[in-house]
Structure 1
């Protein structure tokens, strides 16, 4: 089992699910559809509803936290958000939407798209099964 350490800034307990890794920063206002639960990446849409979302960081407007709240309101929120870099607006959105958030993860987390992961928020760790080799990002 590979263990990756970060810093939990919102949430407790453990969540498990498929890791959706997006290697480029996203704007919750411009890239995320809060009703459908998808992130627009290039010409495609990546489903984040009920998945563990890994991103380097978020960019954009102060409206971003409200889009995160919209994801939660419509039942389309990710199980957790993992980020390599802390972001105040993402933290505000995670608290508003009650989405677990872990930050300060190494960039290697973005190489495990498609892998099943276990996010242990109380321990600030992400567990990746040994059989899950470093893969490519989901998007």
Structure 2
């Protein structure tokens, strides 16, 4: 299945999706190793390490951009898919070189799906679905 969206940050990455149904704040929401520490998150205690993070949109402090950048530089966060990307997440992804596509129906992606985020063409491909 191929989902057409909008390219925010260039690059192409393949990986396993981890999906949150809630908006996410990177500042105070995730530790330096990629573990989700926000107790209100529906993915609390899970790790973003080596995954493609799918969530509706970001929230919170502009410092979140630097948290995303740090996760990218440590090789923890591979890609991002949003329903509606906002400036905090966009800035962090661009600075960190993380492929990011938004304007995608994230309801079609489930945790554990193997997906390709094509930030060059604004596409998300779900490989294990027709």
Is the TM-score greater than 0.5?
yes
RMSD of the TM alignment (CA)? 1.9
Secondary structure of the residue aligned to 1:127 is: strand
CA distances 1:61-115 after superposition (whole Å, capped 9, x unpaired): 0111111122123222x21100001201111111222211111111324x42111
> Structure 1 or 2: larger strand share?
1
Secondary structure of the residue aligned to 1:52 is: strand
Moved over 3 A (4+): 41-44
Structure 1 unmatched runs, 5+: 134-139
Looking at structure 1, the residues matched to 110 and 24 of structure 2 have their Cα atoms a distance apart, in angstroms, of 18
Structure 2 unmatched runs, 5+: none
Secondary structure of the residue aligned to 1:58 is: coil
Residue 115 of structure 2 is matched in structure 1 by 117
TM-score normalised to the size of structure 1? 0.81
Residue 61 of structure 1 is matched in structure 2 by 61
Mapped pair 1:127 → 2:121 = no
1:120, CA displacement in angstroms? 2.2
